[in-house]
Amino acid sequence: MIGSSRNVRSFDWVIILLYLLLVGSGWINIYSASYDTDALAFFSTDNLFIKQLLFIIFGIGLIIFVLFLDAKFFERFSSIIYIVSLLSLLGLFVFGNTISGATSWYKFGSLGLQPSEFAKAATALALAKYLSDIQTNIKSIKDQIKAFVIIALPALIIIPQPDPGSALVYAAFFFPLYREGLAAAYLILGFSVVLLFVLTLLFGPIYVGAGALVIGIFLFVKNRKRRPSKRLYLGIVAACALFAFSVNYIFENVFEQRHRDRFNIVLGKEVDAKSIGYNTAQSEIAIGNGGWLGRGFLQGTQTKGKFVPEQHTDYIFSTVGEEWGFLGSTFVVLLFIGLILRIIQLSEKQKNDFSRIYGYGVAGILFVHFVVNVGMVLGLLPTVGIPLPFFSYGGSGLWGFTILLFIFVKLDGNRINEW
């Protein structure tokens, strides 16, 4: 139990320290991004930074609660947690509230709860439970499909809310699957799909199809002594071409203009800083304004002028960039990298499959959030609205990530007891 000093020492304090640093610096930047010189009394709960402070305090309560529970509780109740989570997502279609276009919220008075933020932890638990089952064999197609279903169900419910960003995060579960033995072919396939997708957008389907054909013929001729199968090569080339053309079709006919724009901006095809590219351009200006050491706390002109939209939520990293400069931003990047690496390192130490798989799930989810969010803010990836863990303003997000992380801290702390 948490009361005993042995247990307290068994928690990984590196993770806890990194967590506190992230939440703390996140709050400082939310303060800066939402601070308004004369608008409100400091302690008014209309101030977003005061709200976030309350969220953090409640989050600490959640941490204590999670650490108090028995480590075995999570494994035992994972299926139930998962089902409750799915139901809470489905319930949105009936009871959900719409905020900025997405019906992702339950309203309790002034407090909004976003179940998709908690579903990630639930799915991680369910997947860990399923994969750690002795009867599950990840090499078998049947079990692979079952695992995919566990992952895909919440994502499929989230997509039509619509919240494609949150759904995208479920791709993170590829990492624990791969770690547990999923065939490398999936990796190659996934990588090829992404590569073909980008190439098609950049060069058009005709060039990509032609390129696939040339490479196919080249490899075929090169390997002709080994008597390669013509059909296989032909099939792969055909699949590439077909994929390229369908990507092109979907991009041009199924995607809406705003989606197309988001890709085009990142691919450098279309730069219009005033309308479409406004978010990205403003975010880059704010970050660039930071220089080596930043403008200083509360001194960011872009932050003060609120030029970057959603700066306290999805674009919070631009505040870091402007006010704390290259040094501060690098520090935050290192905090995230450090946290993720620490989780991976600890996961590998787990003697219990459930804990290890869950740890990989946590690392994957945090990583995907980090990459997609910071990549977007830095103008490297298309605009996808997902928060930066521990940093972005919002109670559900903070609590969801806190629970996700501290379940792992609890599982890890229990490692010794499993001996």
* Tokens representing residue 300 in the block: 């960011």
* Tokens representing residue 157 in the block: 């419910």
Min separation Cβ 375 and other proteins, Å:
8
* Tokens representing residue 340 in the block: 């993720």
- Cα–Cα distance measured from residue 345 to residue 325, given in angstroms and rounded to the nearest whole number: 30
Min separation Cβ 162 and other proteins, Å:
26
Residue closer to other proteins (CB basis): 2 or 168? 168
Residue closer to other proteins (CB basis): 205 or 359? 359
Which residue do the tokens 């946290």 mark? 339
Min separation Cβ 71 and other proteins, Å:
24
3-class SS of residue 103: strand
Residue closer to other proteins (CB basis): 66 or 265? 265
Min separation Cβ 406 and other proteins, Å:
21
Residue closer to other proteins (CB basis): 98 or 345? 345
Contact 22, 339 (CB under 8 A): yes
* Burial of 112 (C-beta count, 10 Å sphere; 0-12/13-18/19+): middle
Residue closer to other proteins (CB basis): 321 or 385? 321
What residues make contact with other proteins under the rule CB under 8 A? 37-38, 175, 178-179, 181, 187, 282, 284-292, 299, 301-302, 304-307, 321-322, 325-326, 329-330, 333-334, 337, 340-341, 344, 348, 360, 363-364, 367, 370-371, 374-375, 378-380
Residue closer to other proteins (CB basis): 364 or 397? 364
Min separation Cβ 190 and other proteins, Å:
12
Rg (CA), the chain: 23
Determine the residue type at 337: I
Residue closer to other proteins (CB basis): 32 or 282? 282
- Cα–Cα distance measured from residue 247 to residue 31, given in angstroms and rounded to the nearest whole number: 42
Min separation Cβ 389 and other proteins, Å:
14
Residue closer to other proteins (CB basis): 43 or 292? 292
Q: How is 192-255 classified by DSSP, letter by letter?
A: HHHHHHHHHHHH-HHHHHHHHHHHHHHHHHHTGGG---HHHHHHHHHHHHHHHHHHHHIIIIIS
Residue closer to other proteins (CB basis): 140 or 330? 330
Min separation Cβ 292 and other proteins, Å:
6
- Cα–Cα distance measured from residue 115 to residue 113, given in angstroms and rounded to the nearest whole number: 6
Phi/psi of residue 298, nearest 5 degrees: 65, 10
Min separation Cβ 64 and other proteins, Å:
29
Q: How is 95-138 classified by DSSP, letter by letter?
A: H-EEETTEEEEEEETTEEE-HHHHHHHHHHHHHHHHHHSTT--T
Min separation Cβ 301 and other proteins, Å:
4
Min separation Cβ 147 and other proteins, Å:
16
Q: DSSP letter for 97, please.
A: E
* Angle (nearest 5°) at CA 365 between 111 and 286: 70
- Cα–Cα distance measured from residue 14 to residue 26, given in angstroms and rounded to the nearest whole number: 18
Phi/psi of residue 387, nearest 5 degrees: -75, 160
Contact 271, 265 (CB under 8 A): yes
Contact 371, 336 (CB under 8 A): no
Contact 293, 258 (CB under 8 A): no
Residue closer to other proteins (CB basis): 205 or 379? 379
